[in-house]
Structure 1
Amino acid sequence: MSTLPDGEPLAPVLAAAPAADGEFVEITDADVDQVVELWKTCGLTRPWNDPYVDIADARAGGGSTVLVARADGRVAATAMAGHDGHRGWLYYVAVAPELRSTGLGRAAVVAAEAWLVARGARKIQLMVRTTNTDVLDFYGRMGYTDQECTVLGRWVESG
């Protein structure tokens, strides 16, 4: 497990509550509705992905989580992080529109990266929808580059 510069383990710090404004902690049951509303406000949800299911799935195992930061007692930013055993992945990085350009988005990515590195991730990836061109410069400034690959997928029926 990774540690902070003072030797303190990283995971307990992320799980600490209550959190100061702007500090990222793991999501609680009380945060879920606010997180979903933030994701909808930021245009991150799609009809075919139930955000409540995505949150529940992320919380169900030790390989993923949703980190949240609050401002004025409300969820102001999120980042979902998942480790697949080889790479770390970022999803649902969101900042309340009125708090953009305050550094909270960068803090969300850094917190999620730290969570992933603490779990052994050596590379961190994310996907950006082709319609979300505004965010590409943000990720570029954070050191993310086009990996020159095509993401393919298909839905499978469960049950």
Structure 2
Amino acid sequence: MLIRPFLEEDTEAVVALWEECGLTRPWNDPRRDIARKLTVQRELFLVGVDDGTEAAGAGQPIATAMAGFDGHRGWVYYVAVSPARQGERLGAQLMAEAERLLTGLGCPKINIQIRSGNDRVIGFYEHLGFSPDGALGYGKRLIAD
């Protein structure tokens, strides 16, 4: 897999991937989430494409990770791997690249949020060295999608 920054022409394929992976929710417009991310640290919005079929920078997205660093903590969202390609360690490759980029920015810790009961994803992150940190996530919507 080739990992590269998101390109605007990836939008529809990325949204379709997120939908296929069950990451979208009615209260979050994924296209707005993409547009918002492109205004802040767009280089941390990663797309994985099959490196065996297309030239560098091209190709259908098969994986994504949207990372950010606020000066205190790093965050990673929208980690997705095409269901047809799961089990190939593509998610681990994306997370390793996100960690490399965040470390390069001086980020001391990465936080992730996992929906309650998503045991498969919990196992994935535990395998990568993540563990519960005793914090409870709360949210408040400021802008309705």
Q: Judge same fold: TM > 0.5, yes or no.
A: yes
Helix, strand or coil at the partner of 2:76: strand
Aligned to 1:25: 4
Helix, strand or coil at the partner of 1:61: coil
Aligned to 1:103: 89
Count of matched residue positions in the alignment of Structure 1 and Structure 2? 137
- Whichever residue aligns with residue 33 of structure 2, its letter is D
Kindly report which structure 2 residues correspond to 1:8-157, keeping only aligned pairs within 5 A, or say none: 22-62=1-41, 65-71=44-50, 72=53, 73-157=59-143
Give the Cα–Cα distance (whole angstroms) in 2 for the partners of residues 25 and 157 of structure 1: 29
- The higher-RCO structure (CA 8 Å, 6+ apart) is 2
Helix, strand or coil at the partner of 2:44: strand
Helix, strand or coil at the partner of 1:147: coil
- Percent pairwise identity: 39
Deviation at 1:156, TM superposition (A): 2.6
Q: 1:87 to 1:63 in 2, by over 3 A?
A: farther
- 4+ runs deviating over 3 angstroms: none
Give the Cα–Cα distance (whole angstroms) in 1 for the partners of residues 43 and 23 of structure 2: 18
**5+ residue gaps, structure 1:** 1-21
Helix, strand or coil at the partner of 1:81: strand
Aligned to 1:6: none
Deviation at 1:111, TM superposition (A): 1.1
Deviation at 1:51, TM superposition (A): 0.7
Query: Residues 42-81 of structure 1: CA distance to partner in whole angstroms, max 9, x if unpaired?
Result: 0001111111111111110237731001124310000000
- Whichever residue aligns with residue 133 of structure 1, its letter is D
The alignment yields a C-alpha RMSD, in angstroms, of 1.5
**5+ residue gaps, structure 2:** 54-58
Give the Cα–Cα distance (whole angstroms) in 2 for the partners of residues 33 and 63 of structure 1: 17
Give the Cα–Cα distance (whole angstroms) in 2 for the partners of residues 61 and 155 of structure 1: 19
Query: Residues 71-94 of structure 1: CA distance to partner in whole angstroms, max 9, x if unpaired?
Result: 243100000001111010010000
For normalisation by structure 1, the TM-score amounts to 0.81
Q: 1:79 to 1:157 in 2, by over 3 A?
A: closer
- 1:64, 1:82 within 8 Å by CA — same for their partners in 2? no
